[in-house]
């Protein structure tokens, strides 16, 4: 584990997230948000660990802008902006919810409070089920619901979801936290929500599954391009610069059909209720925790 790279990536991601929080995004398109936030990450000397996610209202996660996406933030929207920076493949994953309808301010605050509760109890040896219990308790105390089938995760070099889950509810099957990198990300919906997400139709985030050749020469060239530029980390169509948009889209479709590339569907709240999210990346230690993405 390269702790210095985790810290460097975290400092950049935390700084960018705080700027995202302060800005008024009403009237901006999701394309403008994604491009601006990704440029802020690169300007600070990191690479993007995944395309910036701009998931609006009942969409909980995994929406990123299509090329020139005109979807525009309105003055009643709640938007989860989830961003990732990486240095040599060591990832900082963090998110903030911006909200322009004061009716949902408590939803946003509760996600933040639940995350802070989890960070306060964290150290080496803590049980993951106890963290889930703490997050669930805080959220239910407020009359809200955690999204039970979304969770945080362990991180490894060039791997965002490295196998261990950091739950947002009490759950059977637990591990004790060790000194490695994790993301904690409570998702909160209203009391009218289902508390579960399902997969939506839209898929605009992708990642490489295998480098095995497809026998289509141009598709294989895209496969190499993906490996060279994004490794096994997620990417968006916006990021493919060597082909024009339609050509890239067609080649990507071929790679998905051949199972060389995986497409991630958006995740939507089961009762179409709004969802708020807060997220930090952290490394537990014997005395507590290093939150790599802590606000500067
Ligand atoms: Mn994230
Ligand atoms: Mn995450």
What pLDDT, in 10s, does the model give residues 189-212? 999 999 999 999 999 999 999 999
One fold for both 3-199+270-291 and 205-266?
A: no
Summary mean pLDDT of the chain: 97
Distance from Cα 61 to the centre of ligand 1, integer Å? 9
Residue showing tokens 């950049």: 12
pTM: 0.97
What pLDDT, in 10s, does the model give residues 53-106? 999 999 999 999 999 999 999 999 999 999 999 999 999 999 999 999 999 999
Distance from Cα 94 to the centre of ligand 2, integer Å? 7
Helices and strands in the chain, H and E counts? 6, 14
CATH 3.90.230.10 fits 3-199+270-291, yes or no: yes
Active site residue 279: yes
Confidence check: pLDDT of 1 > 80: no
Q: Where are the domains of the chain?
A: 3-199+270-291, 205-266
Residue in 117, 185, 220, 269 annotated catalytic: 185
Active site residue 185: yes
Active site residue 93: yes
Residue in 2, 77, 161, 262 annotated catalytic: 161
What pLDDT, in 10s, does the model give residues 17-51? 999 999 999 999 999 999 999 999 999 999 999 99
- State the pairing for strand pair 280-284/289-291: antiparallel
| Closest ligand to the CA of 13 | 1
pLDDT score, position 173: 81
Q: Return the higher-pLDDT residue of 173 and 47.
A: 47
Distance from Cα 137 to the centre of ligand 1, integer Å? 22
Active site residue 218: no
Going by C-alpha positions, the residue among 101, 82, 68, 73 that lies closest to residue 238 is 68
Q: Is 259 exposed, middle or buried (0-12, 13-18, 19+ CB in 10 A)?
A: exposed
| Closest ligand to the CA of 54 | 1
% pLDDT > 70, the chain: 100
% pLDDT > 90, the chain: 98
The CATH architecture of the domain made up of 205-266 is Orthogonal Bundle (1.10)
Residue in 40, 93, 113, 117 annotated catalytic: 93
């Amino acid at each position: 584990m390269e702790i210095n790279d985790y810290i460097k990536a975290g400092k950049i991601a935390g700084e960018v997230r705080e700027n995202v929080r302060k800005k008024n995004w009403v009237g901006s398109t999701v394309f403008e948000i994604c491009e601006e936030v990704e440029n802020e990450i690169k300007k600070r000397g990191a690479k993007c660990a995944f395309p910036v996610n701009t998931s609006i209202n009942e969409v909980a996660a995994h929406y990123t802008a299509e090329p020139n996406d005109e979807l525009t933030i309105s003055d009643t929207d709640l938007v989860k902006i989830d961003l990732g920076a990486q240095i040599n493949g060591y990832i900082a994953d963090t998110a903030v919810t911006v909200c322009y309808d004061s009716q949902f301010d408590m939803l946003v605050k509760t996600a933040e409070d639940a995350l802070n509760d989890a960070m306060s109890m964290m150290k080496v040896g803590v049980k993951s089920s106890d963290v889930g219990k703490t997050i669930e308790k805080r959220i239910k105390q407020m009359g809200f619901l955690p999204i039970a089938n979304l969770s945080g995760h362990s991180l490894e070099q060039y791997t965002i979801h490295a196998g261990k889950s950091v739950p947002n509810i009490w759950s059977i099957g637990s591990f004790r936290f060790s000194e490695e990198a994790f993301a904690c990300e409570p998702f909160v919906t209203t009391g009218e929500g289902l508390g579960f997400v399902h997969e939506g139709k839209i898929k605009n985030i992708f990642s490489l599954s295998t480098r095995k050749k497809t026998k289509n020469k141009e598709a294989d060239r895209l496969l190499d391009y993906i490996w060279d530029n994004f490794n096994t980390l997620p990417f968006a169509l916006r990021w493919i610069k060597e082909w024009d948009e339609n050509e890239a889209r067609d080649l990507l479709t071929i790679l998905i059909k051949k199972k060389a590339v995986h497409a991630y569907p958006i995740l939507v709240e089961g009762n179409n209720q709004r969802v708020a999210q807060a997220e930090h990346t952290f490394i537990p230690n014997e005395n507590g925790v290093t939150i790599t993405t802590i606000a500067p």
